[in-house]
A = this chain, B = another copy of it.
Amino acid sequence: MSKQAKFNRDEVIEKAKNLYWEKGYHATSMRNLQDVVDMRPGSIYAAFGSKDNLFKEALNRYAETSAENLADSMAQETTALGGLKRFLRNVTICNKGTAPSGMCMIVKSVAELTQNDSPDLLAQAKGILQTIEASFANIFQQAINNGEVSTQKSPAELARYFQVQLIGLRTYAQVTNDINAVEKFIDDIFKELH
């Protein structure tokens, strides 16, 4: 009995994520979203509830994809530090042309959203960044176990250090477009870690 939905939920979330990522939360209107996902407002609201909730799903999708990208980078390298370096190069240099924005969607969200007007969206974005940092800590633990790391720092400290470099450098790359400088910067980071 009943009719089955004709839209593909995964594809819709993917397209919504890309639009939110490009334009940010406030600058993305429901009509913009209706256009890119090719659905009428009634269907969108039946399926996702609200603009806020769709943004939440978009954030989660972004987090999933980021985790996959990190895993892919790790899998393509023989060392843990090599994997992290590949990941860092990907987000700052390689993927810059293809992605909806050169900036990290989560950092964009943390920068845009305030505690007053969307506390749970902000909390979710912050939580995702913490999760990512925790996965970096796991990787650095591996790197330490493998004897790849020269410094005395703990996995948590190394993860924090890497997170700051990632956020800072990705934003920096957005401003300058100086690929050579970014490349050199990344090399310096890993020269020091080794």
Contacting pair B171 A169 (CB below 8 A): no
How far in angstroms is the closest Cβ of chain B from A100? 10
Cα(A175)–Cα(B134), bound, Å:
14
Q: Are B164 and A107 in contact (CB under 8 A)?
A: no
Q: Is A185 an interface residue (CB 8 A)?
A: yes
Number of interface residues of A (CB under 8 A): 36
Provide the A136-175 mask, 1 if CB < 8 A to any CB of B, else 0: 0000000000000000000001001101111111011011
Binary CB contact string for chain A from 174 to 193 against chain B (1 if under 8 A, 0 otherwise): 11100001001100100000
Most buried by B among A101, A108, A112: A112
Chain B residues near A35 (CB-CB < 8 A): none
Residue of B nearest to A105 (CB): B111
8 contacts between A and B (CB under 8 A): A24-B26, A26-B112, A107-B111, A108-B112, A157-B184, A164-B168, A164-B172, A171-B171
